[in-house]
Structure 1
Amino acid sequence: MKKITFIVVIFLWVTNSIFAQSDWVRSGSEKSKISFEMPENPTIQERELNGIKVEIFGYKDAATVFGVVASDFSDIGLDFTYSDPSEYYEQMKEASLVTGDAILVSEQSVAYQKMLGKEIVYTQLVGKHEYTYYKRFFFRKKFIYQAAIGGPTRMKQFLVDKKNIFFNTLEFID
């Protein structure tokens, strides 16, 4: 009986995960050479700072927040194909943890589509609740990409499931 219950629970979890993603919307930018899926169409903002053009894609629902930031370094002549991104990674990691109550939980290298990136996990108080954020950084050609998802720490397994779906939808356009 336990085996049957276990199989039914696994089947329902897999089915829910598949259907949860089937409604997601593909979005992205030819200009920033990236596409991805989020539960709904994201808001899009464009900015420029010190010659760096930035596209910001964001979506927020009741339990999670999603974000993709594509920073284009073309106009300042920087190409990460030929340079070490370590200094830029450290600066971006520190900027992610700038609020006083943000705590770095872990950081690791991640491989994705034959690229090496970095992932940080950190927690932060939002009001009276602790949130966990997963953020990945990729340095590709003339772009720095940041993809992030966050949500209440108390819903960690739900957040991890959505994180895996979200990060696996990232596609870099040549």
Structure 2
Amino acid sequence: MRKLIYVAVIILLSNASLLAQISWETINSEKSKISFELPGEPIVQNKQLSNILIQVYSYKDATSVYGIVASDFTKLELDFSYSDPTEYYEEMKAGSLVSGDAILVSEQAVAYQKMLGKEIVYTQLVGRHEYTYYKRFFFRGKYIYQIAIGGPSRMKKILIDKKNLYFNSLVFTN
């Protein structure tokens, strides 16, 4: 009987990405010029910081947290198509690691839809448990996009499957 339960758990975990994708919803934002999929309806917040308009999407399920921050620099007349975003990236990376127990695990360039972005992976203690976060930064036109997913490090296989589904669902629109 125990073997049957172990086999069922292994099959369930190996098909976690397939099961997670079945009920995912497509979210479209004309305002932020982005489309993506999540396991459910996100909380959407519209904010303004100085002259930067910010749209924040957040969602949490039983094992993972998801987030997208789309910052519109139109009012500042800043277009990342014609400027070097390195300074902005470094500030946002530092802001992601601001917690005293956050540890940067890796940092790399990523290509997506003919765009070059950056990805950081970091860990952080949440209560007594370690969480792993994957965060991508894209600089497109007058927008900076921060796309993140995180979850318990002990469930890394499921988190990576969800990360791949989530990041691969992104579509930057006009």
Please, what TM-score do these two structures have when normalized by structure 2? 0.91
> Could you list the per-position Cα deviations for residues 66-89 of structure 1 after superposition, in whole angstroms to 9, with x for gaps in the alignment?
001100000010000000000000
Q: Offset at 1:18?
A: 2.9
2:51 aligned with 1:51: yes
Give the Cα separation in 1 of the matches to 2:33 and 2:95. Answer: 24
Instruction: Give the Cα separation in 2 of the matches to 1:106 and 1:134.
Output: 10
SS, match of residue 40 in structure 1: coil
For residue 111 of structure 1, what is the amino acid of its counterpart?
A
The list of structure 1 runs, each at least 4 consecutive aligned residues, that deviate by more than 2 angstroms after superposition, is 10-20
Matches within 5 A, 1:118-133: 118-133=118-133
SS of corresponding position for 1:78: coil
Could you say which residue in structure 2 is the equivalent of 1:29?
Answer: 29
The 5 A counterparts of 1:3-14 are none
3-state secondary structure, aligned to 1:28: strand
Partner residue, 1:83:
83
Q: Which amino acid letter does the alignment assign opposite residue 131 of structure 1? A: Y
Shift of 1:61: 1.2
User: What is the CA–CA distance in structure 2 between the aligned matches of 1:72 and 1:113, rounded to whole Å?
Assistant: 20
Counterpart CA distance in 2 for 1:70 and 1:78 is 14
**2:72 corresponding residue in structure 1:** 72
Give secondary structure in 1 for the equivalent of 2:144.
Answer: strand
**Which segments of 5 or more consecutive residues in structure 1 lack a partner in the other structure?**
1-9
SS of the residue aligned with 1:159? helix
Q: Does 1:171 align with 2:171?
A: yes
TM-aligned CA deviation for residue 15 of structure 1: 5.3
Alpha-carbon distance, 1:19 to partner: 3.7
Whole-Å Cα distance in 1 between the matches of residues 118 and 64 of structure 2? 21
Q: Deviations over 1:136-169 (max 9, x none)?
A: 0000000000100000000011100100000000
State the one-letter code of the partner of 2:43: T
**What are the Cα deviations for residues 17-39 of structure 1, in whole angstroms up to 9, with x where unaligned?**
33421210011310110010000
Q: For residue 154 of structure 2, what is the aligned residue in structure 1?
A: 154
SS of residue paired to 1:95: helix
Count of aligned residue pairs for this structure pair: 166
